[in-house]
Structure 1
Amino acid sequence: MPMDVIDLRDFYGRRLGRVARQHIGRRIQAVWPDVTGLNVLGLGFATPYLGPFAAKAQRVIGLMPARQGVLHWPSEGKCLSGLVDERELPLEDESMDRVLVVHGLEASEALRVMLRQIWRVLAPGGRLLIVVPNRRGLWARREATPFGHGQPFSRGQLTQLLRESMFSPSTWEVALFAPPFDWRPLLRSAGAWERVGHMLWPRFSGVILVEATKQIYAATPLPVSQKVAQRVRALAPLPAPARSVRSFDES
């Protein structure tokens, strides 16, 4: 059973979650070093990784699936998050330049429909970046973390799924080699685990990151239904959270 937003928030508030965020975020930034002037969408529970994009991107929003729930993001200022049906994203065709999916694909009950929606909202030349649990890694076997819930993937499974959904995989990255235990001495050496893991056993990473480009031949975008258009107009921000809620952008 996938975690809800409270479980996910609490995980990223713990030491183990902060370490995971640091190492995954570093790989995301390596794939997308510059988003100046672009529209960026985070889908699933991607908000812990969207902060670095906010200063440069033209627009950054975080959409969370209805079964998971939604949290106000960012913690202060205008709300940029919303609750959606992953099968009908409330966005116009070709309106986003980058889509980051974290804690989304492995928990989805309609994988191909969601990817089709992502294909629809991506602009020509747009790029999709997915972060999923690695089927061979330890993190997929420990339910105390979000990566131990839902369906883990292998590189071959991701390649087939993306190609069937009219995406072409272009860049692969891996992260999370330290064992998934919230033990302070172990977490202090997480950086060393990352360096050694990338050199010696990249197939056994905790997560796989894959960037894919949108294929625009052999198909045309699905039209936005009247129901989706209504949702675009009806999407409302959440109320501002209490001051006691910890911000994901805190170091």
Structure 2
Amino acid sequence: MFTDVVDLRDFYAETVGQVTQRLLRAQLRELWPDVRGLRVVGLGYAVPFLRPFMDEAERVLALMPAAQGVLPWPNERANLAALVEEIDLPLPDRSVDRLLIVHALECSEQIRPLLREAWRVLADGGRMLVVVPNRTGLWAQFDRSPFYLGHPYSARQLAALLRANMFTPLRAARALYLPPTRSRLLLSAAPTVERMGRRLFSRFAGVAIVEAGKQIYAGVAQPTVMARPRLRVAHSRNPSPAAGRVVPPPRTRD
């Protein structure tokens, strides 16, 4: 079940959402420090994390699943958001260099078709980042969190899922160690908590992140099968035990 796009927008407009946005942006930027000249696409509700790439990438698009809804984005320029079916993306094969999936995989009821579609549109040598609620984190336990709905994963489970759907996991990361609180005092300490969390209790992070590339399999040439000479078979109008036997060619006299 997808979270409604209006609820997601409202969460990221609050103070806790803005802190969440900054912390996740920093982690994603570490994984993708340079996207110059690349085509970047977000699937799900990725708009809070796409903006840093806009002035650097060749093109940035935000694709929002129909079950979630869509809102125009960005506000200050021509719209770059579109409503799509997550299992039928309106993109050509191998047309995306960087694919960011946030607030999508854990909510989709068609996970395998979604990942196959992601594989189709990702360029050979491209990279995909998947952000999901961490199974042992607090963000998956509180309904005030946008990561509450859907199926949470550990980083190992997410990597295994990607591997089973023709992706090669490359790197794993975690983020959001502060609980989804509205306390301004705690939110002001979020950067410190984030640094401590990475060192001391990484398994309790709010989200798991895995970067993956698509698996490309080489074709195997099939051996050429030579045609075998056919034998003449005698047929009879009246079926008999002899019908259908192999008849040798007639002998010729010298």
Q: Matched residues in 2 for 1:133 and 1:29: separation?
A: 19
Whole-angstrom CA distance in 1 between matches of 2:76 and 2:192: 35
CA distance in structure 1 between the partners assigned to 2:136 and 2:115 by the alignment = 24
Cα distance between partner residues in 1 of 2:208 and 2:159: 12
- Supply the distance in 1 between the matched residues of 2:130 and 2:203 (Cα, whole angstroms): 17
CA-CA distance at 1:218 after TM superposition: 6.0
Report SS of the residue matched to 1:50: helix
In the TM superposition, what are the counterparts of 1:25-64 in structure 2 within 5 Å?
25-64=25-64
Report the secondary structure of 1:172's partner residue. strand
Give the superposition deviation at 1:145: 1.2
**Counterpart in 2 of 1:209?**
209
- Is 1:90 equivalent to 2:90 in the alignment? yes
- TM-score computed with the length of structure 1 as normaliser: 0.86
User: Following the alignment from structure 1 to structure 2, what is the Cα–Cα distance between the partners of residues 196 and 170?
Assistant: 24
Query: Alignment identity in percent?
Result: 53
Q: Report the residue type matching 1:61 in the other structure.
A: L
Note if contact 1:133-1:207 (Cα within 8 Å) is conserved in structure 2: yes
Alignment length (residue pairs): 219
Q: Provide the rounded CA distance (Å) in 2 between the counterparts of 1:56 and 1:155.
A: 29
Structure 2 counterparts to residues 1-251 of structure 1, below 5 A = 1-217=1-217
Which amino acid in the other structure matches residue 15 of structure 2?
R
Normalising by structure 2, we get a TM-score of 0.85
Q: Whole-Å Cα distance in 2 between the matches of residues 40 and 213 of structure 1?
A: 14
State how far apart, in whole Å, the 2-side matches of 1:171 and 1:155 are: 10
Give runs of ≥4 in structure 1 deviating > 3 Å. none
Q: Which has the larger radius of gyration?
A: 2
Tell me if the contact between 1:2 and 1:146 (Cα under 8 Å) persists in the aligned partners. Answer: no
Structure-2 separation of matches of 1:53 and 1:124: 21
For CA contacts below 8 A with separation 6 or more, give which structure has more relative contact order.
1
Q: CA deviation at 1:174?
A: 0.7
Q: Which runs of 5+ in 1 are unaligned?
A: 220-251
2:155–2:209 contact (8 Å) kept in structure 1: no
Cα distance in 2 for residues equivalent to 1:6 and 1:63: 15
User: How far does residue 156 in structure 1 lie from its aligned partner after superposition?
Assistant: 2.2
Which has the larger helix fraction? 1
Determine the C-alpha separation between the residues in 2 that align with 1:173 and 1:160. 15
Deviations 1:176-219 (A, max 9, x none): 01111111111011111101100001111000111001111168
Structure-2 separation of matches of 1:127 and 1:210: 10
Contact 2:2 2:104 in 1 (8 A): no
Tell whether the 8 Å contact from 1:167 to 1:213 is kept in structure 2 after alignment.
yes
Q: Alpha carbons of 1:204 and 1:115: their partners in 2 closer, same or farther (altered >3 Å)?
A: same
CA distance in structure 2 between the aligned counterparts of 1:56 and 1:195, rounded to whole angstroms: 27
2: CA distance, partners of 1:150 / 1:20: 19
Q: CA deviation at 1:115?
A: 0.6
Provide Cα deviations, 1:121-146, integer angstroms capped at 9, x if missing partner: 01100100011100000000011111
C-alpha distance in structure 2 between counterparts of 1:2 and 1:78, whole Å? 26
| Match in the other structure for 1:235 | none
Look up the SS of the partner of 1:130 in the other structure. Answer: strand
d(CA) in 1 for partners of 2:166, 2:137: 27
- The AA in structure 1 aligned to 2:198 is H
What amino acid is the match of 1:110?
Q
**For each residue in 1:99-119, what CA deviation from the matched residue of structure 2 results, as whole angstroms up to 9, or x when unmatched?**
000101111111110010010
- Counterpart CA distance in 2 for 1:11 and 1:214 is 33
Give the counterpart letter for 1:98 in structure 2: R
- The structural deviation recorded for 1:3 is 1.4
CA distance in 1, matches of 2:64, 2:107: 12
Give the Cα separation in 1 of the matches to 2:68 and 2:161: 23
